[in-house]
Every structure is written in structure tokens, then in C-alpha cells.
Amino acid sequence: MHKLKAITPLGRTEPKTDNFTGLSITENPARALATLTARLGHETACTAQVSAFIGCDLPGPGKSVVGETYGAIWIAPSSWMIEADHTGHELIAQELKPVAGETASVVEQTDAWCRFDITGSAADDLFERLCNVDVRAMNSDTATRTTIHHIGCYLWCRKAGFEYSVLGPRSSAGSLHHALVEVAQAVCPV
């Protein structure tokens, strides 16, 4: 067996945290991801079966939900990103597929994305400079796709005005992190 060592999207052994006055940016590699897309004509069955399994209703357009174990983000009509803790649910796609059966297609997404958790009172100032989302109008538990630094990302508002997560393509983790940190330096007084 090879002695392989997992690295974070930024290529480190430990997740990186950047702290600013009123803001922190933390790399979060601890979530497993999979997309769930209901097949044509099976939308109702898919929603019912998967909602029962994850313990919360799959959210509607623009919304997200966080349950005890699983979370879900609406990403497209009849399509969701499902997330759970990586340690216990690394095979999240294999957990979901038997539940959804023929009603949906499930695609493993864990290593396709990097995630940065942004917390602090300056979060709105940060994102209104980084993307064209009306971030101050975002309610808690909503998510939207947007472009940050020419990178297509999901902006997930977990707690309005204070707690956000950004999901971006893992291969662009460095560029996305650079954009977040650079703007954070500009908006947060030293």
C-alpha cells in the first residue's frame, strides 16, 4: 500500500485560515459532496425519497437547507448539491444512489470543489466587491451561483450578513483564495 497523504485544495496538509479584523476565511475540506438530479417525470418521487433519507426537505429555487447530517443546495430545476461530513460520509454518492434509485442521477462531486467558509461582520462588504449578487438582500439558508474573479462559484449564505460559504472549482482554489484574501485586505481595516 502506498503511503498517500491527502492534501487540501490549496495543497497543504492542514486547512488554511486567514484572519482579518471582522472577517475570517477558512478552507474547509471536510465536506463530501454529490449532485442529485431528478429524472424527467420522477421529480416528485425523487424529492420525497431523498428528503426522507436526509431528514429535511430538499430546498426550492435559490434556497439551501442544513439538517443534522446532510445539507442541500438547490443548483438547478430538480437538481441539488448534497453535502455531509467527509469523515463519516466519504461515499456520499453511494449512499444517495440506492435511496433515489431510478428516480434520479447521482454524481460524486467531492474532489471537484473547494470550499471556503467566510465568517464575520465584514462578509457583505467582501462579497459586494467580489460578485454581482445583491449580497445584502440574501437571506439565511439561500445559495446562488455567481462569478468571482472570473470563476464560477456557488455563494451560500448560511447566516445573513455574517456567515457564508463559497464553493468553487478545486482546480482554481488558489486563484479563488487569492481573490478572497486580496479583497479582504482591502475592506478590513488593519
Partner 1 sequence: MIIDHPLLGPRDAQEFVYLGDATLIDRPDWQAENAAEAFHDYLYLRDNPAGEHRELWYHEQGDRSWLVVTRNTLTHEITSVELARDVARARGRGR
Q: Using CB under 8 A, which of the segments 7-15, 87-95, 108-116, 139-147 binds partner 1? A: 139-147
Which of 26, 51, 146, 175 binds partner 1 (CB under 8 A)? It is 146
Size of the site for partner 1 (CB under 8 A): 13
Applying CB under 8 A, does 105 fall inside the site for partner 1?
no
Applying CB under 8 A, does 39 fall inside the site for partner 1?
no
Applying CB under 8 A, does 189 fall inside the site for partner 1?
no
Which of 1, 4, 6, 40 binds partner 1 (CB under 8 A)? It is 40
Residues 69-88 that bind partner 1 (CB under 8 A): 75-77
Cα distances from 111 to residues 91, 100, 135, 153, in angstroms, run 12, 22, 27, 15
How far is it, in rounded angstroms, from Cα 168 to Cα 190? 27
Least distance to partner 1, CB of residue 79, Å: 8
How far is it, in rounded angstroms, from Cα 72 to Cα 60? 10
What is the crossing angle of helices 43-54 and 92-100, to 10°?
130
SS3 95: helix
Applying CB under 8 A, does 44 fall inside the site for partner 1?
no
Residue type, 29: P
Q: Which residues of 154-165 are buried (b: 16+ CB within 10 A; e: fewer)?
A: bbbbbebbeebb
Written as nine digits, the cell of 126 is 467582501
Applying CB under 8 A, does 41 fall inside the site for partner 1?
yes
What does the binding site for partner 1 look like in residue numbers (CB under 8 A)?
40-41, 61-62, 75-77, 132, 144-147, 152
